[in-house]
Chains A and B, each alone.
Chain A
Amino acid sequence: MRNLVIEPTSKTPKVILNADLGIFEITGRSIPEDAIGFYRKVLDWIEEYSKSPLPETVFKFQLEYFNTSSSKCLLDIFRKLERMHKNGHKVQIRWHYDSDDEDMAETGQDYQALLDVPFELVPV
């Protein structure tokens, strides 16, 4: 399966989806005007990956700031990972956040409460 790497910009995060190395990361800032357009590729990639995933998938999210439409797209990603988990695959979401950023911690807790998938909050 082809890896997906998107370099960061001032408005979009860095995306590394590498099934060969087992790296699944979205890091940085996410405030694109067309969040759906940006995350479409990510969602499609995960959809494809979920057909034959690795024995264990640890997905790292480390976002410093994101807009509401990005939040909806993140939820869509989480839902796909949740579906993988429900289908019997080992999936873990790691929500990294700045230990000084209470809002980001709270956001992680919101997602955690909403999802039925292992979701770890990791202060950094």
Chain B
Amino acid sequence: MNDKYFPEETAFLEEARARAERGGLSADDWRSHYAQLVENYDKLLKVVQVLTHQATQLESKMEKVRAQLELQRKALSHEVEGLERQIEYQQREVHKKVQERDDLYERMGKTRMMLIVLFAILLVIVLFVFYYIFIDTERMIKFVKTIRNLE
């Protein structure tokens, strides 16, 4: 702690100490100095009382602000927890949807392949029939006769 806030008071105190050490003062001088000391002490005490009162007010204000901040911190913490839970739920939902989409794509792929195979088979049959009816008619007639003979 330094004396920068109370330079006058510190100077007065040092002077009073020096005077007391020097001694050799008359009773009247002592009385006069003592009266001065009491007056300055009184002033200083009042200043200290004012500063202490104000410092207490400030601390009280700061404590109120601290309490408010603590409440806000708790509220925010609660909000963050809620948001985290919501995010987790959303992530699970998204994962589920992605899984469903992937399954759907897989099923669609299989169905598409089946349709292609079926279409290919149908095409072969159609081409086969087309060939015997319009291109190789004689063989077709023989084939029909063979079937009839079998009957």
| A positions within 8 Å CB-CB of B | 36, 67-69, 71-72, 75, 103, 106-107, 110-111, 114
Contacts and interface: CB of A to CB of B under 8 A. Distances in A.
A110 B47 contact: no
Contacts of B55: 68
B39 to A, nearest CB: 13
Interface size, B (range): 10 to 19
B53 A110 contact: yes
Interface of B: 4-6, 46-47, 50-51, 53-55, 57-58, 61
A69 B57 contact: no
A72 B6 CA distance: 9
B57 A75 contact: no
A114 B50 contact: yes
Contacts of A106: 53, 57
24 contacts: A36-B4, A36-B5, A67-B58, A68-B51, A68-B54, A68-B58, A69-B5, A71-B50, A71-B51, A71-B54, A72-B5, A72-B47, A75-B47, A75-B50, A103-B57, A103-B61, A106-B53, A106-B57, A107-B57, A110-B54, A111-B50, A114-B46, A114-B47, A114-B50
B61 to A, nearest CB: 7
A69 B46 CA distance: 16
Given A36-B4, A36-B5, A110 B58 contact: no
Nearest to B46: A114
Contacts of B4: 36
A44 to B, nearest CB: 14
Q: Which of A68, A103, A107 has the most CB of B within 10 A?
A: A68
Nearest to B59: A68
